[in-house]
Structure 1
Amino acid sequence: MSKSNIRSFIALPVDYDVLKKISKYLYKYDNDKDLRFEPKEKWHITTNFLGNILHDDVYRTCEILNKIEDKFRSFNISLKEINLFPENKPRLIALQIELSNELINLRREITEELRLNRIGQSGRKAFVPHITLAHLSKDNIPSDFQISLNVETRIKHIDFIESKLTHRGSEYILLKRFTLNE
């Protein structure tokens, strides 16, 4: 990757108190050698993975997200369950998010604006809202893993994040936070 590119994505952060509550469900798996948990600080809902974009596109993406933050109000989401993900070839333990009209519309607007401006590779995959909690060992995937939840939280922000790959995994750098209207 050249120095003129940055690997980035757009995400919806979840309230930290809610994340602490969710982590209590996973406490008994802390010492499981087949799971590599992501730190709570990295838990988020990715709306759009942009991949490697030019530095010029960082500014343009911020302009797009500035417009979008003015158009959308904060909204509630429902955290459904913790399970293996994706279903057909599990590689993760993820917190599944219930699709709502607000979430679909926000993601659609971001995707369309990025596409019109030819920024990143956003929108190529189907949108399955989730939060990655842990990565699974390739050698030992549990046959069943499901924890039902009934948790609601409010989405108040859109984050534009740089993701640097290191030998220890990905490192996230917040480029800019956008606040949705109340």
Structure 2
Amino acid sequence: MSVHYFIAIPIEATELASVQQAILPYYSYRRVYRPEEFHMTIQFLGSTNADELDEVKEVTRRICEETPPFTLTFRSIDHFGRPDRPRVLTVVPDASEPLRRFALALRHELVEVIPRLDRKAFVPHVTIAKKWDVGERVAYVPPTFEATESVEEVILYEVQPNHTPAYRVVEVFPLRRSQEDIWQSRLKFLT
């Protein structure tokens, strides 16, 4: 079996775990994501050879170095599939121009490197459960919530379907740091 990879923003907002626990009783899923698995996929790479992976890392590193950190705000629950038996349950961020620009730039350059990549439109979301099990969704009033996530890095993950967690970090790509952040890090080191 070939190894698959994807590039994603790690999502650490603890509020999303609370939202997940509040709404899961109204659904029936075989695969429930653990909070440490929450992420927003920017580009699924699929099976990638070593040379392609090196190019992916180079492109990702360069785009990240050109992108300042930004913040995402989550307030909505959504899904993919039928409303009564959605195959994927998600939490979605508010519209974000920095996220849109970053995803567009990275995906455009990655397709140049690996033309066979999936070119579906980028739909920002964090999957919290998938693979509908039995029955139908129970009607409920979605909770109101607001969770923020400071995006300061992107991660290249390897999919490990028979492990927990199911994703292994291959490499972390920090977004561009301001000169002030760099100097503060240096000052901490010197003092």
User: TM-score scaled by structure 1?
Assistant: 0.82
Aligned pairs for 1:50-89 (under 5 A) are 50-86=45-81
| Residues 1:8 and 2:2 aligned together | no
Shift of the alpha carbon at 1:30? Answer: 6.1
Structure 1 range deviating more: 47-56 or 21-30: 21-30
Aligned pairs for 1:1-182 (under 5 A) are 1-2=1-2, 6-14=3-11, 16=12, 18=13, 20-28=14-22, 34-35=28-29, 36-86=31-81, 90-118=86-114, 121-122=117-118, 124-142=119-137, 144=139, 146-166=142-162, 171-182=166-177
For residues 33 and 86 of structure 1, what CA distance do their matches in structure 2 show? 13
For residues 136 and 148 of structure 1, what CA distance do their matches in structure 2 show? 25
Q: What secondary structure, in the 3-state scheme, does the structure 1 residue paired with 2:148 have?
A: strand
Distance 1:28 1:98, change over 3 A: closer
For residues 45 and 131 of structure 2, what CA distance do their matches in structure 1 show? 24
- Work out the percentage of aligned pairs sharing the same amino acid: 22
Paired residue type of 1:7: H
CA RMSD, aligned part only? 2.5
Structure 2: which 5+ runs fail to align?
A: 178-191
Shift of the alpha carbon at 1:120? Answer: 5.2
Q: What secondary structure, in the 3-state scheme, does the structure 1 residue paired with 2:161 have?
A: strand
Distance 1:169 1:51, change over 3 A: farther
For residues 134 and 171 of structure 1, what CA distance do their matches in structure 2 show? 13
Asked whether the equivalents of residues 26 and 137 of structure 2 are also in contact (C-alpha less than 8 Å), the reply is no
For residues 130 and 28 of structure 1, what CA distance do their matches in structure 2 show? 18
User: TM-score scaled by structure 2?
Assistant: 0.79
Aligned length in residues: 174
Asked whether the equivalents of residues 81 and 147 of structure 1 are also in contact (C-alpha less than 8 Å), the reply is no
Q: Deviations over 1:111-151 (max 9, x none)?
A: 111111126514x2121111111125343231546333222
For residues 50 and 115 of structure 2, what CA distance do their matches in structure 1 show? 11
For residues 34 and 173 of structure 2, what CA distance do their matches in structure 1 show? 23
Asked whether the equivalents of residues 53 and 119 of structure 1 are also in contact (C-alpha less than 8 Å), the reply is no
Paired residue type of 1:77: L
